[in-house]
A and B are shown apart, each in its own frame.
Chain A
Amino acid sequence: MEMTRRELLAKSGKFILLTSAAATAWEYVLAGKAEAAPNYDMTKHWWAMVIDIEKCIGCGNCVRACEAENDVPPGYFRTWVERYHVDDWDLEHPQVDSPNGAHDGFPERYKSGGKTFFVPKLCNHCADSPCVQVCPVGATFHTPDGVVLVDQKYCLGCRYCIQACPYGCRFLNPRTNTADKCTLCYHRITKGLTTACCEACPTQARVLADLKNPKDPVHEFLRTHSVQVLKPHMATGAKVFYKNLDGSVR
């Protein structure tokens, strides 16, 4: 292969620059400490998620990724996928199933008739969340960057929040006996990574969004598409936006 001196210099220069940049970023990711990612400013972010139902294929990659990333106990889910089957003569009563939270995908069940689609679900990270309001000890809280988290050291395991969540997103972790739920991969997003479920989603059906970042494509997306949150009548300020959500979804 022929290569001029100029080409060689340019190529090696690019290689050195890119590798060193990746290595520096990676150090912060591995350090795993808040101070180690000094560039993260909580006041400059407002996290949300956009879910495109038409892209979800119900493969369960998100559920497995969440389990691997967050050590979710088997049989419990921080995120799961539901299958809705709506017959055209009974729009008000969809049949919903979620075998093992879609951890192993969905066996074929509805061969013909009606419509069938998948709805990925997770904590909606509500801005006015009922779970935060009912916590008697300040163990569940809103962060300034719009994530709802649980302080495992403060949680008493009283289960008030589990009852309060209108979306059923919380569970009592049998290992710690504290309330557990999606953290929106807070340990990842504060280091510039996306969530484990978004990383593993093969069709980009779910995308992490930062509503305070003016360059985030989410703004254009929200302007130009029909989006909906779950149970808008509950006025929870949910921040998981579903594109073209069917009216039958609860």
Chain B
Amino acid sequence: MKEFLRNSEHLLRVVFLLVLGLTAFLLIRWAVVPPEFGKYGHFRPAALDDIRARQVKFAGHQTCEGCHTDVAEEKNKGKHAGVNCEACHGPLARHAEDPGSLLPQLPDTAVLCARCHEANAGKPKSFPQVVTADHSAGLACKTCHQPHTPKIGG
């Protein structure tokens, strides 16, 4: 046995180094690679939870219509049926969570309406457009139009 050890010492040394290296590799990999890496692909599955944990800012029109049924009903009768509440009133998830914490701003219609309805050659021809300077000379649109159902005097 002693003779065997002496004769194969050079081999045993290599085997020892290999085992040591492999152990170090496995230990480092265990410490560095996050748990479940590769479960759904070459990425860290917990990243999905990180991204999904983001706070929602826009509540969505279904949520708005849960309480403001009267406004939704009126709006859905008119040309603005397809325009969601938060397209004009801004992100209001916090308002939906606790109505008192954040009150929706009443937009300035002279600015708001022009964003969509100011005449521009790029807009589809069928889309209603005006040159506000000629049409209303800076007057707020809601002086004549009701924004939720935008017919005159409505």
Place the interface of chain B in its size category: 35 or more
Interface with A: B8-16, B19-27, B37-45, B136-144, which one?
B37-45
Cβ contacts B36-57/A at 8 Å (1 or 0 each): 0100111110011111111111
CA distance A151 to B66 in the complex (A): 35
Interfacial chain A residues near B37, Cβ < 8 Å: 138
CA distance A45 to B96 in the complex (A): 27
A22 sits at the interface (CB 8 A)? yes
A61 sits at the interface (CB 8 A)? yes
A152 sits at the interface (CB 8 A)? yes
CA distance A187 to B93 in the complex (A): 14
**Residue B127 contacts which of A57, A139, A140 (CB distance < 8 angstroms)?**
A57
User: Which secondary structure characterizes the binding site on chain B?
Assistant: loop
Q: Interface residues, chain B, CB within 8 Å of chain A?
A: 37, 40-44, 47-63, 66, 82-84, 86-87, 90-91, 93, 96-97, 115-116, 118-124, 127
**Residue B124 contacts which of A57, A70, A112, A142 (CB distance < 8 angstroms)?**
A57
Q: Are B40 and A59 in contact (CB under 8 A)?
A: no
Cβ contacts A192-220/B at 8 Å (1 or 0 each): 01101001111110000000000000000
Q: A61-B116, A141-B42 are in contact. List 14 more A-B contacts (CB 8 A).
A: A26-B59, A26-B97, A33-B53, A58-B122, A65-B86, A68-B57, A68-B90, A140-B43, A151-B47, A154-B47, A191-B52, A199-B58, A202-B82, A204-B82
Q: Are B41 and A199 in contact (CB under 8 A)?
A: no
Interfacial chain A residues near B121, Cβ < 8 Å: 108-112, 116
Interfacial chain A residues near B44, Cβ < 8 Å: 138, 151, 153-154
Interfacial chain A residues near B120, Cβ < 8 Å: 57-58, 106, 108
Among B57, B61, B82, the most chain A Cβ lie within 10 Å of the Cβ of B57
Given A68-B91, A203-B82; A57-B123 close (CB under 8 Å): yes
A183 sits at the interface (CB 8 A)? yes
